[in-house]
């Protein structure tokens, strides 16, 4: 599969920088169980680097303004996750992807991978079967089923620490588990909220305060990594659990969050509450669902998350350097 940036794209970008001509970027939008993904299929300049981490470095260093141009208002919005489609480094794999949002970059994204696979199917680049996809945190595989659902076999997931107390200004002490599911999560079981659309504002305020408190107190994931997702749980009448997930840009996940569900099942396994091969149905705050399970391979827990995405639009983004909001509202815009 030949995807992503080309020599031609670099020429376009060079012209964009030198002569202030508009840059045109091709995207397809989808939603996965309600959560939007914008897949960038063309027009993005070539990234340097010989692996996905190095390519992420090039994206951050050289083209961060394009991240905000593509994903922030007025072309995008704070709930949207971008997926820059790339050629794979290893030709044995099918493609590479770098996920990004209004705040920065994501190691992995479960709903975004499901959206990416359905988008590839829509443009004729994928058929039912398995795709191997290189992400910044490792290779994941995704099976496109004939009913249109997609199963993502995620990176190894685990709980780092159980029941970590953190003092949250305005809310008192809160306890949560720190776990990895492709991103870092703080998972909170005990909280005062009834999780549903009517409490989204209060839960956003609470989880944002928790995220800030974790950073202030120096509580991190492995290697000092920022815990940039906070997840609340409650009982559900129609699934095993219902969640609310705050994402790095302080908007919430409309889907049950693929990496968050991976972190959740790693905690359930660590507590002896879920067995290998058993199904776990995770519901989102808006009532959409993922099916999750895991296998243990060489002592590591490998989650699989299944859900559905639908393509919603196809567009050419026009990034005109004469536009004061060329790089998105709030990011280097001339009105800032
Ligand atoms: O599905 O993994 C996910 C995800 C991360 C942030 C938003 N969605």
**Atom number, ligand 1, closest to the C-alpha of residue 305:** 1
- Whether 253 lines ligand 1, by a CB cut-off of 6 Å, is yes
Per the annotation, the verdict on 257 as an active-site residue is yes
pLDDT (tens digit per residue) in 112-160: 999 999 999 999 999 999 999 999 999 999 999 999 999 999 999 999 9
pLDDT (tens digit per residue) in 45-56: 999 999 999 999
Q: Under a CB-based contact definition with an 8 Å cutoff, are residues 263 and 292 in contact?
A: no
Of the residues 255, 283, 286, 309, which should be mutated to test ligand 1's pocket, given the most ligand atoms within 8 Å of the CB?
255
Structure tokens, 231: 């997840």
**Atom number, ligand 1, closest to the C-alpha of residue 259:** 2
CA dihedral (277, 278, 279, 285) positive or negative: negative
Q: Under a CB-based contact definition with an 8 Å cutoff, are residues 25 and 100 in contact?
A: no
Dist CA 321 CA 218 (whole Å): 39
pLDDT (tens digit per residue) in 187-232: 999 999 999 999 999 999 999 999 999 999 999 999 999 999 999 9
Q: 322 CA to middle of ligand 1, Å?
A: 33
pLDDT of residue 264: 98
Dist CA 164 CA 197 (whole Å): 28
- 13 pLDDT higher than 70: no
Q: Which residues touch 327 (CB under 8 Å, ≥6 apart)? A: 65, 66, 68, 69, 72, 319, 333
Stated pTM of the model: 0.94
Q: 181 CA to middle of ligand 1, Å?
A: 10
The DSSP 8-state label assigned to residue 21 in this structure reads P
Q: Which of 95, 247, 257, 267 is catalytic?
A: 257
Overall residue count recorded for the chain in this entry? 336
Q: Under a CB-based contact definition with an 8 Å cutoff, are residues 76 and 109 in contact?
A: no
pLDDT of residue 8: 40
Burial zone of 245 (CB within 10 Å; 0-12 exposed, 13-18 middle, 19+ buried): buried
From residue 215, give the alpha-carbon distance in Å to each of 198, 231, 328.
28, 16, 26
pLDDT of residue 129: 98
- Whether 257 lines ligand 1, by a CB cut-off of 6 Å, is yes
pLDDT of residue 21: 86
Task: Tell the residue number behind the tokens 């507590």, with chain if given.
Answer: 271
- Whether 111 lines ligand 1, by a CB cut-off of 6 Å, is yes
Dist CA 242 CA 193 (whole Å): 12
pLDDT (tens digit per residue) in 179-192: 999 999 999 999 99
Distinct helix (H) and strand (E) counts, the chain: 5, 16
Q: Which of 95, 109, 247, 267 is catalytic?
A: 109
**Cis bond before residue 74 (omega within 30° of 0):** yes
């Amino acid at each position: 599969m030949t995807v992503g940036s080309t020599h031609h794209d670099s020429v376009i970008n060079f012209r964009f920088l030198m002569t202030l001509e508009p840059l045109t970027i091709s995207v397809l939008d989808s939603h996965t169980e309600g959560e939007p993904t914008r897949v960038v299929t063309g027009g993005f300049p070539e990234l340097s680097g010989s692996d996905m981490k190095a390519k992420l470095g090039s994206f951050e260093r050289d083209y961060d303004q394009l991240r905000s141009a593509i994903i922030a208002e007025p072309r995008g919005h704070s709930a949207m996750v971008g997926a820059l489609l790339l050629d794979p480094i290893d030709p044995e794999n099918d493609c590479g992807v770098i996920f990004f949002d209004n705040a920065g970059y994501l190691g992995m994204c479960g709903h975004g991978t499901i959206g990416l696979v359905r988008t590839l199917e829509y443009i004729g680049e994928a058929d039912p079967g398995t795709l191997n996809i290189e992400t910044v945190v490792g290779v994941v595989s995704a099976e496109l089923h004939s009913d249109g659902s997609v199963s993502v076999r995620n990176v190894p997931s685990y709980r780092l620490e159980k029941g970590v107390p953190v003092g949250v200004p305005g809310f008192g002490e809160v306890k949560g588990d720190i776990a990895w599911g492709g991103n870092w999560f703080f998972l909170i079981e005990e909280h005062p909220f009834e999780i549903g659309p009517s409490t989204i504002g209060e839960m956003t305020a609470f989880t944002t305060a928790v995220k800030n408190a974790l950073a202030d107190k120096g509580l991190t994931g492995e290697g000092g990594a920022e815990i940039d997702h906070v997840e609340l749980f409650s009982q559900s009448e129609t699934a095993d659990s219902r969640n609310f997930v705050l994402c790095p840009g302080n908007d919430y996940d409309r889907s049950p969050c693929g990496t968050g569900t991976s972190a959740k099942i790693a905690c359930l396994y660590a507590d002896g509450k879920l067995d290998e091969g058993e199904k776990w149905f995770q519901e989102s705050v808006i009532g959409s669902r993922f099916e999750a399970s895991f296998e243990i391979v060489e002592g590591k827990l490998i989650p699989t998350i299944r859900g559905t995405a639908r393509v919603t639009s196809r567009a050419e983004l026009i990034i005109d350097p004469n536009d004061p909001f060329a790089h998105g509202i709030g990011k280097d815009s001339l009105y800032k």
